[in-house]
Structure 1
């Protein structure tokens, strides 16, 4: 969804949704349109300044549903994740990495993924869901490489050299982590 870069932060409201904090930003420049986008773990909804509180609540609900519908179309299930792992292994690792299981997990809040070579299992954090495909592919390929090389030595990184978006994906993930450490700005007071 599109974002209006010139928005007035005269009114912000934090609500809690199913997965993230919601911040409503009112804009005097915005006349009719409402838009929303994800910003880390937060959902930002941009609305015209003249909207009533009831209209705001209705539009927040509508926009959260629209974003959820869009994201559910993009999120791979465990079966699709396994199929993607097989494709990546074939394309970048000469099909040498063959995991027994590949699945999403919700208990990894400090890691993007993990691998247990002895079990042939790969787990990706649910926090990756909704991120660009190349980022998910990088994390998946990273864990596939651990099936072949357990540590992070030169031979491990040599396996990832053929993936053209390694540095871009790593930069994206570093940015997500850094954004999570930024201080929250105080909410502007209404006059």
Structure 2
């Protein structure tokens, strides 16, 4: 897995703990303002390693995604959408997902990894609906609307896309903060990691 973009947030209120979590396609690391640059760099590596370990345990395989898609089709689309494959794609940079109705394949952007499960489920339902209806007419949205959290998930993704599109000229969109449903530094939904500065400093000297 390639190294994600990293945003460092220093806080004068934070004294002992270091927290990391994903916001869209990047990892945010929150550190005490008193840390030196060397300590900050070390902590970034520690937290990236912790998050990578968590995500390896949690990241659905392509087979797992296909099984989930079939469950969602049965639950919300009466089983009418029949995907043949669902896989992660690194090529999906401007879309969250895509599908090919002719062969029933679905591709999900790797940018979804680390987002809440209910957001990923929404994208899967969206693509499942496209296996049945190619356009974005009322029939399509009626199908997608059977997923209870469709509107909220769409707003979540729109927020991420808007943050990227409004980046100042010449700025890296991945460095734009987005104050949405991301965990408030507490590792909510299993997407974050925490560390204690003093504890880790002590252990690193052993």
Q: CA deviation at 1:88?
A: 0.5
Q: CA deviation at 1:173?
A: 0.6
Stretches (4+) displaced over 4 A: none
* Structure 1: stretches of 5+ with no match in the other structure: 1-16, 186-191
Aligned counterparts of 1:143 and 1:49: Cα–Cα separation in 2: 44
Count of aligned residue pairs for this structure pair: 168
Measured against aligned partners, the alpha-carbon deviations of 1:77-116 in whole angstroms (never above 9, x if no partner) come to 1000000011001101111111111111111111111111
Match of residue 96 from structure 1 = 80
Match of residue 151 from structure 1 = 135
Question: CA 1:45 to 1:95, structure 2 compared with 1: closer, same or farther past 3 Å?
Answer: same
Q: Does 1:178 align with 2:170?
A: no
Q: CA deviation at 1:181?
A: 2.5
Aligned counterparts of 2:150 and 2:95: Cα–Cα separation in 1: 17
Aligned counterparts of 1:151 and 1:26: Cα–Cα separation in 2: 45
With structure 1 as the length reference, what TM-score do the two structures score? 0.80
Match of residue 19 from structure 1 = 4
Match of residue 6 from structure 1 = none
Match of residue 57 from structure 1 = 41
Q: CA deviation at 1:52?
A: 2.6
The structure whose RCO (Cα within 8 Å, separation 6+) is larger is 2
With structure 2 as the length reference, what TM-score do the two structures score? 0.75
Aligned counterparts of 1:38 and 1:64: Cα–Cα separation in 2: 10
Instruction: Provide the alpha-carbon RMSD of the alignment.
Output: 1.8
Aligned counterparts of 1:183 and 1:161: Cα–Cα separation in 2: 31
Matches within 5 A, 1:65-84: 65-84=49-68
